[in-house]
Structure formats: C-alpha cells, structure tokens
Structure 1
C-alpha cells in the first residue's frame, strides 16, 4: 500500500482545485466570471476560403483562471438545420458538428495545440507544427463538456496550466496566440476567428495575439500499466509491467519518463505491402513519445523528419524482425526566458539494444525571428554503427504576408572503421499578397552522404530540388450560388541527384470546387518528365525512366441523412508503360449517434507493374490489387467503446517476364517468372472502458498475417478465403492503464 503522505503530496500537484473552482465545466457558460472573458464573435468562412459570413453565428469566450485557460463556444443552431453528432473514438475523423480551439502558448508561431469537441461530447486533440502539419498522436490532459438546447449548443473547455511546457512562465502575464473555429457537419463549412486557414500555407502565425494573466500550477502524474497477453499461435502467456511519469513543477519545466513502455498494442497500423525502395512512414501513439514532442518535431522537404520516434522500439538490429523492448526513456522540456530547451534519451534492452539521444535549443529573438539547434545521436551496437546529426533552423516572419524558413544539416556516421560525413540545406519563402493569392518558393540540397535515418526519417540522400507553388481562390459573388468557391493550384518541381543527373521533374495542376451543399469535386493532374530513377535498383544502377502522367478525380457527396460517400478515380502510367486504373470508395454510415461504420473499397484493375528482384534483375508483371476495410464503432455508454477493425490487402501478380538493367535501360531477358500473390489480413476487436479520467481498461483480440505464394493465379474469392485463414498472429490482450 503506498505511503499516504506521498499520495497526499502528489495530490497537491495533480488534483485540480475543483472544490473552490469558480467555474464548473458542465457545458453551460453561465457563471458570472464569463462576463469578464475575451469575446470573439467575428467568425468568417475559411473552408472554403471565402471570408464571408458563416451560415450560423458563433461566439467564443476565453478566460484565464488559476486552474487553467477556460474556453467556451456559444453555437447558434436552430431546429430546422440538421445536426450531425455521432459519437466517435478520441481523434477519430468523421463528418460531425464540432468546434476547435487552437492555442500557441508561446505566441511565436512555432507550435499550436488543438482541442476539438464534438456535439456528441467526443473529443480530439492534436499538435500543429511547421505552420500546417497536424499530428493527432498527442493526447493532452484537459476537460470539456457540451450542453444542447433546441436553439443551439454550448461547449466549455478547461486547459490546465500544466498542459504543456511554456517559455517565460515566471511573469504575471503571457502573450499567447489563439484561433477558434466551428465546423457544420452537413455542409463541412468551417468558420474561424481570426480567419486563419491551414490551406493558406501560413496558419499558426496568423492566430490572434492575446495577453492574459498567467498562473503557476504544478502537476505530478504517474501512469502505471499492466498487460497480460495470451498468444494462441505459440500457446504462450506474457505479462508486462511498466509506467509513464510526468512531472511539471512549473509551466517552464517538465520531465517525462517511461519505464518499460509498451508499443501501443491496443492500436492497429494500416496494412501496407511495400515493394518500393522508400520506407513507409507510420505514426506513433505511445504517450511518452507524444507528450511535448512538438518541440522536437522538425520536418524537412521531401517528407523528412529529423526525429522519427518509431525508430525507438522498432525492428531490432539483431535480424529477428521483432520489435525491440525499451528499458527506459527520459525527456526534459523547459525554458530560461526566451530560450527553450529539451532533451530526449531512450535505451533499448538486450545486447542489440540501441541508444537514442536528442537535444534541442530554440531562441526567440523577438516576435518575427527565432533560431534553433537540434542534435541527435544514435548508437547501434549490433551493427557497430553510430550516427550524429546536427541541424540549425531559422524562422523569420517579417510581416503578415511573408514567412521564411531555413535549415542547415550535417551528419557524421561511423560503421566499423568507415566514416562518412554529409551536409544539406533548404530554404522556403511563402508570400500571401492578397486573400485570393498565395505563392511559395523552396530550394533544397541534400548531399549524397547526408544521412539522418538512424533516428529520423529520410526518403533519400543526394537530392537537389527547386519548387515553386502558386494558388488562387475564387469566391462566389452571390450569397446563394450553388458553387461557393473554386481553388486552382499549380506546383512545378525540378530535381536532380548529387551527381548532376536529372531526376523526373513534376508539374502538378489541381482544381477544387466546393459547393454550398457540402459536396466537393477535385481534379488533380500530375505530369512527370523523363529522368533518372537512381533508387529503384537499390544502388545497382540508374534507370532512365520515361515520362508519366497521373490523373486523380475526387468527389465527396454532401451528407445524405445517415451516410456520406467519398470516391476517387485514379488513371496513371506505371511499370514500363501502359495505363492502370484504380478506384477508391469510402462510405461513412451513421444510422445512430452511438454507432458508426466506415467501409473502404480500393480495387486496382490489372496494369503494368515493375518489381525489383535482386541486383540488376527486375520482374515485369500484370498486377491486380484489392484493399478492403471496415471500421465499426459502438458506444453503449458514455465510458464504454466497442470497436471492430478489419483490413484485407491482396496483390496478385501474373504473366511475369524477366528484365535486366543495362546502360540505364531495362531489357527483356526472355525469362518467364512465376505468378505470385501477397495476401495480408488484419482483424482487431477492442473494448475500452474509461473508469476514470485518463484511466482505461482495454480488452483486445487481434488476428492476422501476411503470406506470399507462388503458382497458379487465384481468383479474388480464393485470395479472400486464404486471407481469412492467416494466423501469423492470434492473441488476446488485457491492458490496464491508470493515473495515480
């Protein structure tokens, strides 16, 4: 039994002073204190970006209290306007009436924390970095409530002062930047105050500045967890015990620690069968690695990430293919005045266990300029390898129409007795001269030896890229026009590798029409010039790839009573030539507020497919692909959730012929290659019971696997029947995680 004095001390930090709180978070902003709140009533339509008057009025309130930042929304919604209020899992995306509050606690445009509340009471939270990069992996500590009437609905939120680490926490007041928005579920109209929009390239920088009183609030939380797993394949049982600890003595400092953290067994990744030379990028839902991670979240062009937390506890370097166990991890975030700092360390178990370290400094030099440094180090004893990466970054906002971002990178990697050093740099300038126009120019250089993949995610080294983007939005002049707005976007990209060889250039033209009903129609045409593909053979020679084109047509219907459909048509050139056609259908069905279902169907009709086999050897096949999924959610009570998620992915390759790469050209060898199929299936049944705030019991059954077979071609029915028998994994898991 824990020492009662320790529990009492912990409660002084962790337990909010609800007994003496002036505000009761019940969804009704009717206390007298709200009369002194800052009010935001000038909402403008930002999706589509028309800046017109919204269909329904909204008012937002913000009040700084000793317990935290209190926010309220007053949403007019008369009975004749349909309401969409499905109950959803946390962070689940479906058409719904909801509100968002996003706050930049440091007021410097670097990181925004978003809090979303649905009319049903469901919530979502996320972090916005690099102006427009949304990450829903983060789950914050906050409270909310909804109250509904015939004429509308109201929301209250309370975000504790201990929610995140902030700079300048010792002053009596702080300058924050805030944004409020509301989404109508049936038409997808989004209105915001101020009228900032992520589609404009600048988002967090356009939030409204606000000076509010600042209060100190300490917190100390320990989240022990226990899992019990039954493996039905190996007839084995496994028990695991660990904990996450979060200590924040002040708003300017937070320490996070994890002992034997789990790898998120209650979450299911999307099925992927990847034959490409570029690794698939996955998200990370582990609490330790999402808490205050926005400070370390530095991206590069070409979809790079300087810290990719899935590396920690990822596939072990011992060659077993299993996920590495993590002994412990530690993270520190804090600030001294205008200087923010952070450090991250993690150690994996066993002799092959890797060590990961990162440190970050960020200095604000006024409201328009900030500079930073990030260093990472990864030690991989099983490979006799260590990697050191250093980066310097700059963000300049000389005015409301301009933003400049730049970064310098350097890496030093040693494998055995061989050492390599690489460097890189990139810069991006965004200019928004009017509400209708925006432009962006980006230049990048990655040296051939630049390598930040040991702790980060890098699609490729040896890249020179110049990219220009321009966008224009035309708004409907008539308030009752069927078409609300049309957006045209053009992106041109010239690329070469570090040997001066031209990589395929890209011209992408996009036209989007948003209708008043909530429907949308988009045409996306991509033209790629001929150029060198220097990745396809994994270092065994370059292929002079011919020019290619791709057309994607996307249509989203308005909400029709209890359903909504999104459909896509893909027409593209692949392999050595020829046209492939694929479709994608996403059906959302919500017959009741407590039940929703999403069906996903993605057939790819037979088309040309090129597969690297080994060395300079390739196979050319005629490919079919099936991707089907179902995601069903039932909420029998406020604290109970049932989820069924099933996915099937099958690739059927036929009529294989051998090709060899010689002198930049793929020449037929005359060899017949056997037909093959890759079949992958995953099923998860999950029950979640939230018995206290941030305290959950999970019961999860999972089954699935992947199988590659050669031989006679199989029908779609045979492939599905085979998939349902896959049993690489077959297990039941019980997990208890609670806040102490």
Structure 2
C-alpha cells in the first residue's frame, strides 16, 4: 500500500504540470485536447431513428483524465440554417435549448450514473440516473464549465472533479468507467447521442461506452457556514439561525458529510396539490445535505416506492406542532476494496423528535452481477414506535439484451407493546432483443403487514402484481414524410391483495408521433377492468368498481420564434360510475429575450360524478369543477443574479352532494341525505432573488405567501374563488439566507 501510494504521488507530480495547461474557457486551444479520447459517431436517438445528425449538426466529444478531474469537451457545428436557441435558465429548469450532456458511471457497473449538461447560454443541469434510466435533478454539485461560439458553431468545456461522487477501487492507477454523450437541438428537440441509447427505452446506463482512464487521488475539505433570518408577518415574530455543513473527502474511497444545527428549510417551493386520494402525494427533496452523495441510498421499488425518502426527516412532527427541527445529521460514503458502503443518521430535537438511521452495502460479485443490502431504522418516541426495514437487492446484466433486477424485503414494527412484521419481494426482467423492440416483465409481492413508510415512501402494501410491457419504435426514413418516427407501448397489469380480492386489471395502450418539425403528439388510454378498491375507505371496507377507462392526448410543440406550447386533454373517472372528469391543460412558454422567460399554465376541469370519502363507511357524491393556474417568470439581470416569481392557484368547487354508505358487500347505497356545497382553495406565491457570489456560495432573499382553506357555501364562481385565494394568508414571511463555502 505504501509503494502504491508513493507511485501515485510520483505520477501526480509528473503528470500534473502537463495537464495544468487546460483552462476551462470553452476555446479548446490546449495541446492536451489533441491527445484526448474522441467520439464523433453521434446518431439521432430522440426520435429513435438512429440516423446521422441532421442539418449539418455534426458533433465531436472529447474526454481526457487529469489530476483535477475528468475534462470533457464538445465541438458542435451549427450552420446558420439551424436556429440557435439559448435562453438563460435556472439550474435544472426544464428547457427547450441547444444543449450538450455527458453522463458518467464512475464505477462502471451500470448501477447509477451522474449527468452533467451545459446549454449554449451557459445554463446548466446536473442529476443522478438510477434504476437504469430514472433521472433525478435534485442533486447539485460543484463542477466547472464554459461555452464559446462563433459563426460555424459552438464549443463547451467541462471539468468534473474527482470529488463529485464516491468511487470503489480508488487505489488503482487505471479506472474503468462508462460514458455517454448527447446533444440536443433546441430548434427541433432532436437528441444526438453516442452511444446510440436512450433513457426512453429499457436499456440506458448499461449501454454506455466502456472506457479505461487514468485515475488520480484527490482530497477535499469543504465547510459551509450559513445564516438565516426569517420574519413571520402572520405571527409577528422574527427568527434567526446559524449552522454549519461540512464535507470531507480525504480519499476517493471515503467521504463524510455532516450538518450541525442545520437549516433544512427548502428555498425551493413545492407545487400545489389538492388531493382527496387515499395515496400520499410524493414530493422530491432539494435540500443539499440529502442530495449530495445520496445515490447509494436511492433504492426504489415498483409502484413508485422508495426505501429511503429523505423528506421524512424534518417533516411534520408526530405531536402535530409543525415541522420538526433537526439537531444534527451525518452521512458516510466509501469503499473497502470492491465493497461500497454508506451510513446515514439524523436526529430531531424536542420531546417528539425522531431518530433515523440507514446503512448500505454494495458488492460486485463479477462483471454484470451486483449484490446489495440496505437496512433502515426509525425511532418515534412520541408514538412509542420503532420501525426496521431490511432489503437484499440484485442487479444482473447478461450481454446487451437482458437485465434482471430483484429485491427481497422485510419490515418489523413495534408500537405500544404490539409487534407486526411483513415481507415483500419483486423481480423485474428487461429484454431488448433489437433496436425496435423492448419488453419488460415485473412481478411484485408486498405482504399485508409490509410497511416501510416510516423512513421510506410506499404507496401501498398488501399487493400482488404482475406487469407485462412491450414497446415498439418505428423510425421513418423517408424525408418527404411529415413524421420522423412513431412509437407504441402496451402494458397489462394484473393485481390482487393478500386477502384474496382481485383489484382492477389495467391495460394501457400508448402511441407517440414524432414530427420532423420537432412537434410531438402522445395518445394513451387505460382500460380498467372491474374489481375491488381496497384503499378508498381507509380501512373501513373495500368498494367494488365497475369497468372504466381513462384517456390522454398531449401535444408538445417545438419553438416557434419566442414561443413554445403544450396542450393536453385528459379524461379520468373520479366518481362512482364510469363518467369522466375532463381536464384541458394549456401551457405557454415565452422567451422574449435570452435573459427573460415566462410560463403560464391553465387547467380547468369538470365532472358530473366525483366520489369523496368522508368518514368510516360514509361517502359524498358531487358534481365538481376545478381551476388551476400557474405563472412563472425568470429574469437574469447579470451572469450570477436570478430573480424568480412563482405563483400557483388551485381550487375545487363541489355541488349537488348526496350521501352514500358502503355496504358489507362492497356496494354504495344512497342514504337520502344531501351534502352541502363546498369549495377548496389553495394559493401560493414566491418571489425569490438569488446571487451566486462564489462556487456553492449563495445569497437568497425570498418572500412567500399562501394558504389553504375549505369552506361551505351555496354559490360561488371562479372570480369569487380567486378573490378569496388572493386573501389567503396562512403563511406570509420574508427569508434571507446566506451560505458561504470555505
């Protein structure tokens, strides 16, 4: 070990001066780029035509390993006939822009990859790809980029430090990684990529190009003290807080993240949702401590489950006193030889404070076969509750065609002297026999007492599910055709619970049309068979459902000058019968200048049959009208300054209510009682200024206001609801936050 370390120090000292000449300025004029690995066989992967680049948009990507990190460059030819789309955007903001991307699987085992994107405007996007193709943009890290352009095209230069992610096998001189490069044409939305794989298909990360590069050891110590000041205009009180975040990486095989008296309040505002469903609404987590080096803990399950959902930490306290405050949190990531490990711990303060712990192990048995274990523990003293979850997971890849994922899970919960345990397991097989066909088989069993919601996110337990999916891509080569390609997907879902009840069968049929102009039309219908709904009454008996269907048609446009549009028509049955709740959604994005953009979304809905659970076996059946409006504006007065306005209003009006009672046989019978009309109103507004005065050093000023109200009234139109919404003031506060990286 001493000899190897000495060799690495010597290698670093010899090679560092040669590589130090690379300056991230977008010009690519250093001699080192001439010796870099070169990739120029880009093909069109969205739509999945696998054609050469259109419009003369040739692309060259280069990669070279340096002591400072992995350097990547793009040379993108862009003739004058191809418009340049380069709006300034917030980090990770959805975009229609000219963009390049590199995604790197640092361990080369296809378990996850890290994505880095740069727009022609210099705006960026970074995220983590888990479960082969699921991209999460919650992760933000420290890396360097630059863009330069001329009449022939533009160039982007990226430097990705060795410290951005934990890596196994960091003591060797060479490292095997997997890489993927792509370029998006903002004018048409087409994606050019090498290798020719797509996240819209079953196989993505495992299809990356394998590459062996020089590896360098790097150490890092970062400290972020922060100060926040909050003025609550409702409670007429001020609050001040200081704390510290720390990140220490003495070697690539060990990383420590810690937070003392952390401020885990999100500067980002959640989208407004009014839900009467029995299933919890999922919200992602943008808090830096919980997104940094979190990929090892991102273990997902079918039915959109997550074994660790970090929004549980610091969520509403068990005693109902509001959001819990966190004393401290710590996270360790590292490797011992080929084994990767992770430890997460967080503790909340106060008599209702909870403690959360998680541990993770990952081990590659051989190329293409990976095993893992995850254990979690949650202690909730106010509820006299302890919850443990264990999971064994496996990922196996056989060649380029077959991918198999599986988990075996258990849970054990002790509360107030009682104990219950549950088991679960699932298997997913993805088979990609050709460039056009993609098949998936997924089998899931969650026992009736299986529960990982204390630290995870679980839509439901008590589930047996078999899901079969087939997808077909049909590229159209004829240049005279208005269509560039089409895609079909069919999915059959058979479901039951452990009590022997057959849940509704789902058959999904989807059809996508990609136009050469860059527009896209997507059509989908779900045929829902008769069966039992065992969740709607919250444990007071199942409801027998009749055959139903839902429908979606969504049109997404390319850029037309300063505008881009989206329109959708959705029909979803939300009542006792099969009548649809019809929603039309209209979205307009406006880019009048590169430094300013705005969006407006309007989504009215109406239904003559809306079923709402009230209590016990009692339900209300109503007519319903819904209103949803969202306005967003972003202004970038200077390179490191952002001003954002985000405002949302969601309202529901219910009338002509009648009461129904659930019978032991699973039917609903009218009681003859009428129910009063009511409306639900929710409004939120945030005006936020952000100044980035250094790498990962920011000043935020944010004013937020909003509220939620349910009231009974006999009359009320849209303007009455909007007027009431603007007066809602459950929350009204001004926040200043300063975070500086040493």
Task: Give the TM-score normalised by structure 2.
Answer: 0.96
Matches within 5 A, 1:163-182: 163-182=164-183
Distance across 1 between alignment mates of 2:460 and 2:81: 54
- Point out where structure 1 has 5 or more consecutive residues left out of the alignment: 1-16
Shift of 1:548: 1.1
Shift of 1:19: 12
Of 250-259 and 479-488, deviating more is: 479-488
Question: What is residue 28 of structure 1 aligned with on the other side?
Answer: 27
Shift of 1:261: 2.1
Distance across 1 between alignment mates of 2:388 and 2:117: 38
Question: What is residue 46 of structure 2 aligned with on the other side?
Answer: 47
Out of 693, 713, 716, the residue aligned to residue 715 of structure 2 is 713
The answer to whether 1:680 aligns with 2:679 is no
Equivalent residue pairs, number: 723
Say whether the 8 Å CA contact 1:485–1:514 is kept in structure 2: yes
Question: What is residue 435 of structure 2 aligned with on the other side?
Answer: 435
Question: What is residue 599 of structure 1 aligned with on the other side?
Answer: 600
SS at match of 1:266: coil
Distance across 2 between alignment mates of 1:443 and 1:199: 21
Question: What is residue 126 of structure 1 aligned with on the other side?
Answer: 127
Question: What is residue 37 of structure 1 aligned with on the other side?
Answer: 36
Matches within 5 A, 1:28-427: 28-55=27-54, 56-320=57-321, 322-427=322-427
Distance across 1 between alignment mates of 2:641 and 2:208: 36
Report the aligned-residue RMSD. Answer: 1.1
Distance across 2 between alignment mates of 1:141 and 1:587: 32
Matches within 5 A, 1:495-644: 495-577=495-577, 578-644=579-645
Distance across 1 between alignment mates of 2:154 and 2:265: 35
SS at match of 2:290: helix
Distance across 2 between alignment mates of 1:427 and 1:636: 51
Q: Specify whether residues 484 and 121 from structure 1 end up closer, same or farther in structure 2 by C-alpha distance, changes over 3 A only.
A: same
Distance across 2 between alignment mates of 1:641 and 1:580: 39
Question: What is residue 694 of structure 1 aligned with on the other side?
Answer: 696
Shift of 1:18: 11
Distance across 2 between alignment mates of 1:18 and 1:125: 29
* Per-residue deviation, residues 139-187 of structure 1 (Å, max 9, x unmatched): 0110000001111000000001111110000000100000000000111
Distance across 2 between alignment mates of 1:316 and 1:94: 37
Distance across 2 between alignment mates of 1:398 and 1:698: 49
SS at match of 1:421: strand
Say whether the 8 Å CA contact 2:580–2:607 is kept in structure 1: no
Distance across 1 between alignment mates of 2:673 and 2:18: 79
Shift of 1:605: 1.9
Shift of 1:468: 0.3
Distance across 1 between alignment mates of 2:97 and 2:686: 25
SS at match of 1:720: helix
* Per-residue deviation, residues 315-345 of structure 1 (Å, max 9, x unmatched): 100122x110010000000001211000000
Distance across 1 between alignment mates of 2:328 and 2:294: 17
Say whether the 8 Å CA contact 1:222–1:246 is kept in structure 2: yes
Distance across 2 between alignment mates of 1:243 and 1:92: 28
Distance across 1 between alignment mates of 2:140 and 2:387: 31
Distance across 2 between alignment mates of 1:592 and 1:531: 53
Say whether the 8 Å CA contact 1:76–1:153 is kept in structure 2: yes
Task: Give the TM-score normalised by structure 1.
Answer: 0.97
Distance across 1 between alignment mates of 2:463 and 2:294: 28
Distance across 2 between alignment mates of 1:66 and 1:230: 46
Shift of 1:20: 8.3
SS at match of 2:518: coil
Distance across 2 between alignment mates of 1:18 and 1:234: 59
The answer to whether 1:457 aligns with 2:457 is yes
SS at match of 2:296: helix
Matches within 5 A, 1:637-656: 637-656=638-657
Q: Specify whether residues 332 and 693 from structure 1 end up closer, same or farther in structure 2 by C-alpha distance, changes over 3 A only.
A: same
Shift of 1:573: 2.5
Say whether the 8 Å CA contact 1:112–1:204 is kept in structure 2: yes
Distance across 2 between alignment mates of 1:729 and 1:238: 15
Distance across 2 between alignment mates of 1:442 and 1:234: 51
- The runs of at least 4 aligned residues of structure 1 exceeding 3 Å deviation read 17-20
SS at match of 2:393: strand
Distance across 2 between alignment mates of 1:187 and 1:45: 12
